[in-house]
Structure 1
Amino acid sequence: MLTRTRNVMFVALFGIVVLGGLTRLTESGLSIVEWKPITGIIPPITLSQWEEEFEKYKQFPEYKLLNYRMSLSDFKYIYYMEWSHRMLGRMIGLVVVLPAAYFGFRGYMTRSTTKKIMGLVGLLGFQGVLGWYMVKSGLSEELMSTPSSVPRVSHYRLAAHLGSAFILYSGMFLAGLQILRDSKVAYDTFPKEVAKILANPSLNRFRRLAICTAILIFLTSMSGALVAGLDAGLIYNEFPYMGTSIIPPKSELFSKSYTKFGESDLWRNFFDNPTTVQFDHRVLAMTTLCAITALWLYSRRLTLPPKARLAINSVLGVSYIQATLGISTLIYMVPIPLASAHQAGSLTLLTTALYLVHNMRRIPIKI
């Protein structure tokens, strides 16, 4: 039962990240202008209810600046995209909270595991609040007063929302794997030969490098969130060049247009300048690819447990697929299928890296 619950949870968490990306790519995220955690479960049904929701949407910048010619049928499409995203979030809440309460009251979890799950449940609730906080930034009337403004959510809040989702998924994934491993250790069914391999001090360096690689993958994914939030993928649609050179002109990378105090805060370009943000993501992505390749080559010199060997091979394979998807998404100017696959690929890559980290953990048993 634990395994089934874990699998359902992972699929749901993975799915909501992908659906959230699709919601952003289809520009559906600002279609529901109110946050109703309970009553929002039921979508409009009658024509009058749909017209009422559409009228609410018309009061905000996205309709006034971008979708002023939208029909009611078009509105229904983006509404259902956002509604589906929110409903999946509520479903995940039930999938996490109800089994956690059941296993906790039945005494199936240790005290440390219970604390971890309670922390993750708290993070899940925070994720919902953070999602609405992100949406509110795209509903601000200030967008109407800014010349040539594009109605969209804050890229900072978007990155925070995605980062929180990745952390929640990672925590659930590692906690689930650890629970299953602890069960094998408790019932003395964990392979002794694997425990012996993991106890070898020669693996310590590889273990640390695997953790660093997972962190690097996470940081690269977060830089991708900034790219998405600024629509930075719609400029410099070639690779490896950005214009006439691999590195754009310094005047573009460090433009005073994105500063508030002149030379003293040129660092803002790293977060607000689409050119710099895209360049940073390219550098991080290629660094991550090289780091993974180097880690794989290093692993060939070591004796690893079978699952760890499978994990490092998977990390290498997925990293090259992900790089290919990223370059293709850029070259073809961010088509929805490629962009969605690229976002799913980032979470898949992180998953394989975390699986490697987990399978490199020592086993606290006597050999």
Structure 2
Amino acid sequence: MTIALDQPAVPAANGHAGIRRWLWAIAFLVFVMVVVGGATRLTGSGLSITEWRPVTGAIPPLSDAAWALEFEKYRLSPQYQLLNTGMELADFKFIYWWEWGHRQLGRFIGLLYLAGFFVVLLRRSMPWRETAILFGMGLLLGLQGTIGWIMVASGLQPGMVAVAPVKLTLHLTFAGFFFASVIAFATWLTPLRRIEPAWGRGAAWFLLFLLFVQIALGGLVAGSKAGFTFNTWPLMDGALVPPASTLFAGTPFWENFVDNVALVQFNHRIGAYILLAFALWHMLSLRRAAPGSGGAKRATAIAGLVLAQSALGIVTLLLVVPLWAGLAHQALGFTVLAMGVVHVTRLSAGTQLA
């Protein structure tokens, strides 16, 4: 076995500490945004604001007349008419403030990212290629906000009392994409403390792929409210694998993967088993191939986090998704995602073994 040392193409720390702090602040705010978004969903608040006004919408109702107008707009929505008929103004204010806060946090993240990008651009703090990547990440953030409104609009259609599961999944997944890009860029800008072997780089990428798949499957569970059904484990309706008549009861066939709560939850369970098994295998293989390396330590941490996330998911299911458990499950999921991104970025910047 020969070892070819490839020095990582990581910029020097000098001059980039401010950019790193800016990116880590963005990542933290996106993490908080995801948790607040989960609370908005679990409290049924996401459809309380029925208009998308990117600028003027930042101003909440400031008078009794303004509150009455906002409440009247909500009372015209299908969710109110089909689910919340008779809701009092005080109850409306509760769900309104959750959604308003969620949107304000999104606006703040957008403004902070835009301000930081212009500082980088005007000061020419980074080469054009890295600046272009930051610009692309900003476009991704803007697309995420647009998807958020498309998601809300789907819940305002006649007969709807919640947003469409597919659009909620897209909203969550694209939040994951932006979050991962920020984590990756900030990690790449952070100099390596030591050169480490890049054992398991391909497996680390596949692990990251599985993490995104599981987040998407979790989005479908959240969107279809599948977590409020089949609240037993390890069995579902008395069986490890429910019958096909249950899993594929809907028509057309493909809609079962989105709207059939049995199949949606089953897929999320299977995804968790596959993810946990692969994370444990990746940990063991790295600990054998490169014991004591940073990659082995990170793989061990990721495996532990995935195991904890699996246990928390089971608790959340058995307790029928209380608010605290649902939010903790979502927060830990994005914590695992962050670790997976750091792991891939570090292995990609390390040495190559031939």
- Specify the alignment match of 1:35 in structure 2: 52
Q: Whole-Å Cα distance in 1 between the matches of residues 248 and 172 of structure 2? A: 26
**Which residue identity lines up with residue 284 of structure 2 in the other structure?**
L
Look up the match of 2:163. Answer: 153
Judging changes above 3 Å, is the alpha-carbon distance between structure 1 residues 174 and 37 closer, same or farther for their aligned structure 2 residues?
Answer: same
1:271 to 248, 254, 258: 258
With over 3 angstroms needed to count, the CA separation of the structure-2 counterparts of 1:246 and 1:363, relative to structure 1, is closer
Which of 176, 183, 201 aligns to 1:173? It is: 183
- Contact 1:23 1:81 (8 Å CA) reproduced: yes
Alpha-carbon distance in structure 1 between the residues aligned to 2:231 and 2:350:
48
Q: Judge conservation of contact 1:236–1:242 (CA < 8 Å) in 2.
A: yes
- CA separation in 2, counterparts of 1:109 and 1:307? 28
Query: Which residue, 109, 114, 117 being the options, matches 1:97?
Result: 114
Report deviation, 1:126: 1.0
Q: What corresponds to 1:147 in structure 2?
A: none
CA contact (8 A) 2:309 2:333 kept: yes
Counterpart amino acid of 2:44? E
The answer for the alignment partner of 2:172 in structure 1 is 162
The root-mean-square deviation of aligned C-alpha atoms, in Å, is 1.6
Q: Does 2:323 correspond to 1:336?
A: yes
| Whole-Å separation in 1 of the counterparts to 2:251 and 2:232 | 24
Instruction: Flag the 1:249–1:363 CA change in 2: closer, same or farther, 3 A.
Output: closer
Q: Is the 8 A contact 1:258 1:273 kept in 2?
A: no
Counterpart selection for 1:240 from 216, 226, 234: 234
Tell me how far 1:104 sits from its aligned partner. 1.6
Preserved CA contact (<8 Å) 1:198 1:363: yes
Kindly state the Cα deviation for residue 127 of structure 1 after the two structures are TM-superposed. Answer: 1.0
Q: Distance in 1 between matches of 2:54 and 2:327?
A: 27
CA shift at 1:103, angstroms?
A: 1.3
Superposed CA offset, 1:218-262 (max 9, x none): 10110010011111111110001011211111111122x331xxx
The 1-side partners of 2:121 and 2:350 are apart by: 24
Judge which range, 270-279 or 309-318, deviates more. Answer: 309-318
Deviation at 1:40, TM superposition (A): 0.7
Unaligned runs of 5+ in 2: 1-17
Q: How far apart are residue 303 of structure 1 and its match?
A: 2.0
Q: Which amino acid aligns with 1:309?
A: A
Q: Are residue 87 (structure 1) and residue 109 (structure 2) matched?
A: no
CA contact (8 A) 2:110 2:141 kept: yes
Q: What does 1:300-311 align with in structure 2 at a 5 Å threshold?
A: 300-303=287-290, 306-311=293-298
Q: CA deviation at 1:346?
A: 1.0
Give CA-to-partner distance per residue, 1:69-91, whole Å, 9 cap, x none.
Answer: 21111111100100000000010
Corresponding residue number in structure 2 for 1:321? 308
In the alignment, structure 1 segments of 5+ residues that lack a partner are 144-149, 182-189, 260-265
8 Å contact 2:46–2:99 — kept in the other structure? yes
Q: Which amino acid aligns with 2:52?
A: W
- Which moved further from structure 2: 268-277 or 28-37? 268-277
Of 267, 270, 282, the match for 2:269: 282
Equivalent-residue separation in structure 2 for 1:110 and 1:258 (angstroms)? 53
- 2: CA distance between counterparts of 1:167 and 1:159? 12
Tell me the equivalent position of 2:278: 291
Whether the 8 Å CA contact 1:17–1:344 is kept in 2: the answer is: yes
Query: Residue deviations 1:36-88, cap 9 Å, x none?
Result: 10001110011111111001100011111111121111111100100000000
SS in 1 for 2:348: coil
3-state SS in 1 of match to 2:190? helix
TM superposition shift of 1:307: 3.5
Give the secondary structure class of the aligned counterpart of 1:102. helix
Asked if residue 359 in structure 1 is aligned to residue 353 in structure 2, the reply is no
Give the share of equivalent positions with the same residue, in percent: 37
Contact 1:156 1:226 in 2 (8 A): yes
In 2, distance between residues paired with 1:8 and 1:17? Answer: 14
SS of the aligned residue for 2:308 comes to helix
User: What is the CA–CA distance in structure 1 between the aligned matches of 2:45 and 2:300, rounded to whole Å?
Assistant: 37
Distance 2:29 2:319 in 1: 29
TM superposition score normalised by structure 2: 0.91
Residue 81 of structure 2: which of 56, 64, 69 is its match? 64
Matched, 1:76 2:63: no
User: Aligned-pair distance for 1:272?
Assistant: 2.3
Residue aligned with 1:360, SS: helix
Counterpart of 1:25 in structure 2 is 42
Given candidates 210, 223, 226, the residue that maps to 1:229 is 223
Q: Given the alignment, which residue of 211, 223, 232 partners 2:205? A: 211
Per the alignment, residue 185 of structure 1 pairs with: none
